[in-house]
Amino acid sequence: MSMNNNYNSIKPLGASSSGYQHPQIAPGQYPLSQAHAIVQAQFQAQLQAHGLSFTPNAKRFPPKPPVHTATPLKQTEPVLGPRRKKPRQNEKQLPEKASAILPQSALYTQLLDVEARVDAALTRKKVDIQEAMRNPPCIQKTLRIFVFNTFANQSGDSSAPTWTLKIVGRILEDGEEAEQPGVLAHRMPPLYPKFSAFFKRVTISLDKRLYPDNNVITWENSRSSATHEGFEVKRKGDKEFSAQIRLEMNYVPEKFMLSPVLREVLGIQVDTRARIVSAIWHYVKARKLQNQNDPSYFHCDQALQKVFGEDKVRFSMVSQKISQHLFPPQVILLEHMIKLSGNSPVGSACYDVMVDVPFPIQRELNALVANVERNKEIDACDESICGIIRKIHEHRRRRAFYIGFSQSPLEFIKALVESQNKDLKVLLGESGHSAEKERKSDFFKQPWVEDAIVRYLNRKPAAGSNAPGST
């Protein structure tokens, strides 16, 4: 560790107030080692005259760890440390001093209290709505599926004959009468998901003899980024045939078909895993099968023994053990005859399927949460209020400045200059440095002076220099 920067400029040691004069040796008069010894001898004699002692061959101890006190002779450079973060003041609050100057601000403070209560109520309601939307309630509705086909140019015109198979559907409202089949005016109401959202996979198989290259058409929900109002297949052809349609429902959350054994116990055909486990718990509770000594287990009656194959089952293992009794839901198989004569469109069949749809108020709740989160008009008002509050802060500081100056100009300016002088010293890192104390000889009779002199004289002299410790 180098100490050159700390003691290179110990200028007060040459001050005339202590009566000490630095020993002078003409360059080239003595060899370097002999000159060094002469300087140490003269310097020791003058130290003894001032009541100080110096041992040149004393053992040097390793430097002590730094203490959190400022060294008087250490020259520090101005270093700006990280600013201490102050607690952020509410920008919409008026300071107490400004409130005392403006009596009308009491009404504004009351309005802030009302606003805080309204914001707290809205936040609570928002949390409740978001919690409800995580598990949105669903209701069962009837999905009516229409299957029909159209055709064109089947009379032998110059254009190629074509036909189009269409699969569409809509949600029936409660009490709604059945529609006439083959009518195209059956779009899904805007409150419900589009038709394709209810299916995981749709497969249409054509006659392989008529269409050997591409007789199977498959659509998968996982590969489609958007939902659609229906499905449509268009091909060239003038021969009638039967098309097979396979519909796999898309249940969210996933539903399973129960095995006959489990279906006999619960009376459920298709449901989600969570509701099946809940039904088993209610079955156990209703028949008081829970173990009294260890509530984590339940006993199996004759019906449950057929399901689990054990006399006693742990509740935490129910979801795992019923996996062998859960199967994918049964697919919907439809058959449609592609007819190319008569009136177009052709088709008189419709099919009803029970599906789960989100509660109609779900979208309204989403819109309400979005409006609460971001309201541009309220944000603009808040920004305007904060700007006015900042102006009030500025005018209050100016008013306090001029009032203090008017009451006692001399004392005010004196205190202002002193305060700025302290801030400048702190900024430059000179808060522990006092030039007034360093002018007196008592300053250099402190315990740290001897150690500083030893360090100064025992530095290795630079090459080509005759003075000890010179650089």
pLDDT confidence of 183, banded at 50, 70, 90? very low
pLDDT value at residue 37: 58
State the Cα–Cα distance between residues 61 and 64, nearest whole angstrom: 8
Does residue 129 carry a pLDDT above 80?
A: no
Does residue 26 carry a pLDDT above 80?
A: no
pLDDT value at residue 381: 84
Instruction: Tell me, yes or no, whether 149 lies in a domain.
Output: yes
- Is residue 274 within 8 A of residue 280, CB to CB? The reply is no
Instruction: Tell me, yes or no, whether 37 lies in a domain.
Output: no
State the Cα–Cα distance between residues 203 and 254, nearest whole angstrom: 20
Does residue 408 carry a pLDDT above 70?
A: yes
Mean pLDDT for 253-282 is 92
Q: Which bin fits 369, alpha (ψ -120 to 50), beta or left (φ > 0)?
A: alpha
Q: Are 214 and 225 contained in the same domain?
A: yes
Does residue 139 carry a pLDDT above 70?
A: yes
Q: Are 217 and 311 contained in the same domain?
A: no
Q: How many CA atoms lie less than 13 Å away from 251 in the CB half-sphere?
A: 19
Instruction: Tell me, yes or no, whether 317 lies in a domain.
Output: yes
Q: Are 304 and 241 contained in the same domain?
A: no
Range of the domain at 304: 257-327
pLDDT value at residue 109: 83
Output DSSP code: residue 106. H
pLDDT value at residue 40: 62
Q: Are 418 and 277 contained in the same domain?
A: no
pLDDT value at residue 145: 92
Q: Are 284 and 216 contained in the same domain?
A: no
- Characterize the bridge pairing of strands 241-249 and 230-236: unpaired
pLDDT digits (tens, 9 = 90+) for 335-365: 999 988 888 787 778 899 988 887 766 667 7
Q: Are 161 and 231 contained in the same domain?
A: yes
pLDDT confidence of 89, banded at 50, 70, 90? very low
State the Cα–Cα distance between residues 350 and 334, nearest whole angstrom: 10
Q: Are 392 and 296 contained in the same domain?
A: no
Nearest to 11 by CA among 464, 447, 439: 439
- How many structural domains comprise the chain? 3
Q: Which of 107-111, 183-187, 346-350, 375-379 has the highest mean pLDDT?
A: 107-111
- Is residue 162 within 8 A of residue 235, CB to CB? The reply is yes
pLDDT value at residue 441: 83
pLDDT value at residue 430: 62
Find the CATH number of the domain harbouring 214: 2.60.40.1970
pLDDT value at residue 21: 44
Instruction: Tell me, yes or no, whether 439 lies in a domain.
Output: no
Instruction: Tell me, yes or no, whether 417 lies in a domain.
Output: yes
Q: Are 347 and 244 contained in the same domain?
A: yes
Nearest to 230 by CA among 144, 155, 303, 307: 144
pLDDT digits (tens, 9 = 90+) for 417-440: 888 888 887 777 665 666 677 778
DSSP H helical segments within 50-198, as ranges? 96-101, 105-134
Q: Are 233 and 337 contained in the same domain?
A: yes
Does residue 180 carry a pLDDT above 80?
A: no
Does residue 247 carry a pLDDT above 50?
A: yes
Q: Calculate the average pLDDT of the chain.
A: 76
pLDDT value at residue 8: 37
Instruction: Tell me, yes or no, whether 66 lies in a domain.
Output: no
Q: Are 293 and 169 contained in the same domain?
A: no
| Both tokens assigned to 350 | 């419709």
| Both tokens assigned to 14 | 């040459």
Does residue 406 carry a pLDDT above 70?
A: yes
pLDDT digits (tens, 9 = 90+) for 324-335: 999 999 999 999
State the Cα–Cα distance between residues 320 and 266, nearest whole angstrom: 17
Q: Are 283 and 338 contained in the same domain?
A: no
Find the CATH number of the domain harbouring 299: 1.10.245.10
Q: Are 239 and 353 contained in the same domain?
A: yes
Instruction: Tell me, yes or no, whether 266 lies in a domain.
Output: yes
Instruction: Tell me, yes or no, whether 307 lies in a domain.
Output: yes
